[in-house]
């Protein structure tokens, strides 16, 4: 099981083919899982195969994997596109280091230090710090653990003291908040969903009401999560007003900026994060709007030492030398930790704060352009004026789930839907920097074609029921 330099050329060709396919072939061949099971030899056996056979298998897998870099992949909130970030990511695999100590990671530990301090400063955490986590969900979980431990002093050493700990988050926030509360031993029922206004933003007065009610009931409010860029509508909660409530009641304020944290770089749009400097912690995913390959998320904290306080453990077999400032394992959830810092550092070196901010402006302009076309289209209904990069709408008379599935079945587009105020609506996140206004028109034309086709099709009982529940 050794590395051979001679086989690397074949590996390079495999990677090159995969990359070319991302752009030149349909977004995904429509193949059911059953068909795939017949087509690819997934089963494992007692004896191994040759290197050539394994490369051939990998090529088969790549050929049928949905092409997330395609201009017709409009389904998810990520886009791993930037060449410098991609080069760094491939190098990361070859370097195969772990970010727990300077001893193992060398220059990469300095890069994690540089990146997290720079991002913290941009947020307004002058002396803040941070650590890379494996995704926004884990960054949010890290924040919940810190907030819980700060509010319940027995927790880290002796466990829960029995007083219900209450977490407030908007009714449309990401599911990782409820999941995190459950994983932190607090109970899903102790997460209070706070009502939103008609733009999908948490209503501060409702938050205040909920906190007062819990205090009266003898519960212990401990944390508010404000979302900067909600998953479906892309809305931003009013952070400044929420931070005033957090401060009045002495609660930990976390900002889930997994999607929208990057807007801090845009001169034009950073007002969406107004008040974020008052938060105790912020989640910021670089793999979403910043074109960095998955995964790349940072949890930032305003108060230095907070991460070490809640995550450090004695481990003389690991933390053996050097300044703990560069031994990032002392502040992470994990022990062995993938190097997610190098790729975002390479991206930042390439474009700088200014270039990245302009990129945000471009994504926002695409969303606004798409919304204006949809709004003028007599066959479509724009759900809301977009708050940021997500555009939600319906094709009139056709259920959004059915339309999305048919677009996928015909290998035209991969696009998803979400629930907004009880309706299933198509959601297009504008995260792919290769999209132009022409591509937007092409994608909408595909939606019109398939929408009309579905509308004129004789209805089955199942699709009739779907249509009635949605349209
Ligand atoms: C608002 C928000 N927070 C958190 C997450 C979770 O991020 P990740 O997928 O990186 O775990 C998402 C994912 O879409 C999100 O939209």
3-state per-residue secondary structure call for 225-276: EEEECCCCCCCECCHHHHHHHHHHHCCEEEEEECCCHHHHHCCCCHHHHCCH
> Residue 466: is its pLDDT beyond 80?
no
> Residue 405: is its pLDDT beyond 90?
yes
Strands 281-285 and 252-257: parallel
- Rg, the chain, Cα only: 24
Query: Given pLDDT bands bounded at 50, 70 and 90, which one contains residue 432?
Result: very high
> Is the shortest distance between the CB of 174 and ligand 1 below 6 Å?
yes
Residue the block writes with tokens 């990057």:
262
**What local confidence, expressed as pLDDT, does residue 315 receive?**
86
Distance 297 CA to ligand 1 centre (A): 10
**What local confidence, expressed as pLDDT, does residue 26 receive?**
85
- Mean pLDDT over 350-373 rounds to 98
Query: Given pLDDT bands bounded at 50, 70 and 90, which one contains residue 246?
Result: very high
361 and 294 inside one domain: no
Assigned domain for 30 exists: yes
> Is the shortest distance between the CB of 390 and ligand 1 below 6 Å?
no
Q: Give, for ligand 1, the residue of 80, 256, 258 to mutate: max count of ligand atoms closer than 8 Å to Cβ.
A: 258
Query: Given pLDDT bands bounded at 50, 70 and 90, which one contains residue 28?
Result: confident
47 and 135 inside one domain: no
Number of folded domains that form the chain: 3
Pairwise CA distance, residues 381 & 375, whole Å: 6
Residue the block writes with tokens 């249509």:
467
290 and 378 inside one domain: no
> Residue 342: is its pLDDT beyond 70?
yes
| Mean pLDDT lowest among 192-201, 319-328, 381-390, 419-428 | 319-328
> Residue 350: is its pLDDT beyond 70?
yes
143 and 239 inside one domain: yes
Pairwise CA distance, residues 33 & 401, whole Å: 19
Assigned domain for 363 exists: yes
> Residue 464: is its pLDDT beyond 80?
no
* CB 230 within 8 Å of CB 220: no
**What local confidence, expressed as pLDDT, does residue 45 receive?**
95
Assigned domain for 370 exists: yes
Distance 132 CA to ligand 1 centre (A): 14
> Residue 460: is its pLDDT beyond 90?
no
Assigned domain for 12 exists: no
What are the tokens at 89?
């990511």
What are the tokens at 179?
């999941």
Query: Taking Cα atoms as reference points, which of 332, 440, 333 lies closest to residue 377?
Result: 440
Distance 177 CA to ligand 1 centre (A): 10
Strands (DSSP E) found in 264-413: 281-285, 297-301, 380-382, 390-395
Exposure class string for 134-160: b at 16+ Cβ within 10 A, else e: bbbbbbbbbbbbbbbbbbbeebeeeee
Distance 43 CA to ligand 1 centre (A): 33
> Is the shortest distance between the CB of 176 and ligand 1 below 6 Å?
yes
377 and 228 inside one domain: no
> Residue 417: is its pLDDT beyond 90?
yes
> Is the shortest distance between the CB of 388 and ligand 1 below 6 Å?
no
Range of the domain at 229: 98-348
Pairwise CA distance, residues 65 & 67, whole Å: 6
- Mean pLDDT over 1-12 rounds to 74
**What local confidence, expressed as pLDDT, does residue 471 receive?**
40
* CB 233 within 8 Å of CB 387: yes
DSSP letters, 415-471, are EEEEEETTEEEEEEE---TT--HHHHHHHHHHHHHHHHHHHHSPPPHHHHHHHHHH-
Distance 230 CA to ligand 1 centre (A): 9
257 and 313 inside one domain: yes
**What local confidence, expressed as pLDDT, does residue 229 receive?**
98
337 and 437 inside one domain: no
Residue that is last in its domain, among 331, 348, 365: 348
Query: Given pLDDT bands bounded at 50, 70 and 90, which one contains residue 79?
Result: confident
121 and 261 inside one domain: yes
At residue 463, φ and ψ (nearest 5 deg) are -70, -30
Please state the pTM of the whole predicted model: 0.95
> Residue 249: is its pLDDT beyond 60?
yes
372 and 280 inside one domain: no
Output the CA–CA distances (angstroms, integers) from residue 126 to 84, 114, 303, in the order listed. Answer: 28, 14, 9
**What local confidence, expressed as pLDDT, does residue 318 receive?**
87
Give the residue, by CA position, lying nearest to ligand 1 atom 5.
136
Query: Given pLDDT bands bounded at 50, 70 and 90, which one contains residue 25?
Result: confident
> Is the shortest distance between the CB of 258 and ligand 1 below 6 Å?
yes
Query: pLDDT higher for 5 or 380?
Result: 380
Residue that is last in its domain, among 9, 44, 64: 64
379 and 253 inside one domain: no
- What CATH number should be reported for the domain holding residue 360? 3.90.1150.170
Pairwise CA distance, residues 77 & 156, whole Å: 34
> Is the shortest distance between the CB of 451 and ligand 1 below 6 Å?
no
286 and 402 inside one domain: no
156 and 300 inside one domain: yes
Pairwise CA distance, residues 171 & 169, whole Å: 7
For residue 169, the SS3 value is: strand
Torsion of CA 19, 22, 24, 30, to 10 degrees: 140
Distance from the Cα of residue 203 to its chain's centroid: 24
Q: Give, for ligand 1, the residue of 174, 200, 262 to mutate: max count of ligand atoms closer than 8 Å to Cβ.
A: 174
Distance 184 CA to ligand 1 centre (A): 18
Pairwise CA distance, residues 55 & 9, whole Å: 11
> Is the shortest distance between the CB of 259 and ligand 1 below 6 Å?
yes
Q: Percentage of residues in the chain with pLDDT exceeding 70?
A: 96
Pairwise CA distance, residues 36 & 386, whole Å: 38
> Is the shortest distance between the CB of 285 and ligand 1 below 6 Å?
yes
């Amino acid at each position: 099981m050794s590395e051979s330099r001679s086989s690397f050329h074949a590996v390079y060709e495999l990677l090159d083919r995969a990359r070319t396919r991302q752009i030149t072939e349909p977004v995904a061949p429509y193949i059911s899982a059953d068909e795939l099971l017949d087509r690819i030899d997934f089963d494992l056996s007692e004896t191994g195969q040759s290197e050539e056979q394994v490369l051939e298998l990998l090529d088969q897998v790549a050929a049928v994997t949905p092409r997330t870099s395609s201009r017709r992949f409009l389904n998810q909130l990520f886009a791993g596109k930037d060449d410098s970030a991609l080069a760094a990511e491939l190098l990361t695999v070859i370097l195969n280091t772990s970010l727990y100590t300077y001893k193992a990671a060398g220059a990469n530990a300095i890069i994690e230090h540089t990146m997290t301090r720079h991002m913290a400063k941009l947020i307004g955490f002058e002396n803040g710090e941070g650590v890379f986590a494996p995704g926004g969900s884990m960054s949010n979980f890290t924040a919940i653990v810190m907030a819980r431990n700060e509010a319940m002093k027995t927790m880290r050493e002796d466990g829960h003291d029995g007083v219900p700990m209450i977490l407030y988050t908007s009714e449309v926030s990401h599911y990782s908040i409820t999941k995190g509360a459950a994983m932190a031993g607090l109970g899903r029922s102790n997460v209070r969903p706070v009502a939103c206004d008609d733009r999908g933003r948490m209503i501060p007065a409702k938050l205040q009401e909920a906190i007062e009610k819990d205090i009266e009931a003898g519960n212990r409010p401990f944390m508010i999560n404000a979302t900067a860029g909600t998953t479906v509508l892309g809305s931003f909660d009013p952070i400044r007003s929420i931070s005033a409530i957090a401060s009045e009641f002495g609660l930990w304020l976390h900002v889930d900026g997994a999607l929208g944290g990057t807007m801090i770089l845009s001169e034009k749009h950073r007002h969406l994060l107004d008040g974020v400097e008052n938060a105790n912690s912020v989640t910021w995913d670089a793999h979403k709007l910043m074109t960095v390959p998955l995964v790349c998320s940072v949890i930032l904290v305003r108060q230095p030492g907070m991460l070490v306080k809640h995550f450090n453990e004695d481990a003389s077999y690991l933390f053996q030398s050097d300044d703990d400032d560069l031994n990032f394992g002392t502040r992470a959830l994990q022990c062995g930790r993938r190097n997610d810092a190098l790729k975002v550092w390479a991206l930042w070196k390439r474009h700088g704060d200014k270039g990245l901010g302009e990129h945000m402006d471009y994504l926002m302009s695409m969303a606004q352009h798409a919304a204006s076309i949809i709004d003028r289209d007599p066959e479509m209904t724009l759900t809301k004026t977009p708050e940021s990069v997500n555009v939600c709408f319906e094709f009139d008379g056709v259920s959004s789930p059915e339309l999305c599935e048919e677009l996928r079945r015909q290998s035209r587009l991969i696009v998803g839907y979400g629930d907004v105020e009880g309706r299933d609506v198509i959601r297009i996140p504008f995260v792919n920097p290769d999209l132009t206004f022409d591509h937007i028109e092409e994608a909408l034309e595909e939606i019109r074609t398939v929408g009309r086709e579905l509308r004129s099709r004789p209805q089955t009982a199942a699709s009739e029921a779907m249509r009635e529940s949605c349209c």
